Amino acid sequence: MNHTSKQKIVIVGGTGFVGQGIINHLAPELFDIHCLARHEFSSTVNTHVTYHVVDLNKPEQWQTIVTDADWVIDAVGILFPNPFKNKTYQNSSITPAKQLIDVLKNESKPNFLFVSANSGPFFMKPYLNAKRFVEKEANVALGKRAFMVYPGIIFDKDRLSSYLPGLISFKLNNIPYFKKLRSISRQDFAKEIEQILLTKESFLRQRV
Instruction: Locate the domains of the chain by residue range.
Output: 7-152+185-205
CA atoms within 13 A on the CB side of 126: 10
CA distances from 34 to 11, 31, 66, 188 (A): 6, 9, 9, 21
pLDDT at 187 exceeding the cut of 60: yes
User: pLDDT tens digits for 11-40?
Assistant: 999 999 999 999 999 999 999 999 999 888
Domain over 7-152+185-205 is classified CATH 3.40.50.720: yes
Q: What is the pLDDT confidence band of residue 87, given thresholds at 50, 70 and 90?
A: very high
pLDDT for the residue 76: 94
- Rounded distance, CA 176 to CA 111, Å? 33
Per-residue three-class SS string for 55-113: CCCCHHHCHHHHHCCCEEEECCCCCCCEHHHCECHHHHHHHHHHHHHHHHCCCCCCEEE
CB 155 within 8 A of CB 185: yes
Q: What is the pLDDT confidence band of residue 184, given thresholds at 50, 70 and 90?
A: very high
Share of the chain above pLDDT 70, in %: 96
CB 125 within 8 A of CB 117: no
The arithmetic mean of pLDDT across residues 77-95, rounded, is 94
pLDDT at 1 exceeding the cut of 60: no
49: DSSP letter: P
| Residue 201: count of CB within 10 angstroms of its CB | 10
CA distances from 11 to 15, 26, 167 (A): 9, 12, 26
- Rounded distance, CA 33 to CA 85, Å? 30
- Rounded distance, CA 22 to CA 73, Å? 10
Q: What is the pLDDT confidence band of residue 141, given thresholds at 50, 70 and 90?
A: very high
147: DSSP letter: E
Give one word for 199, left, alpha or beta, with left for phi > 0 and alpha for psi -120 to 50: left
pLDDT for the residue 92: 94
Q: What is the pLDDT confidence band of residue 179, given thresholds at 50, 70 and 90?
A: confident
pLDDT for the residue 3: 47
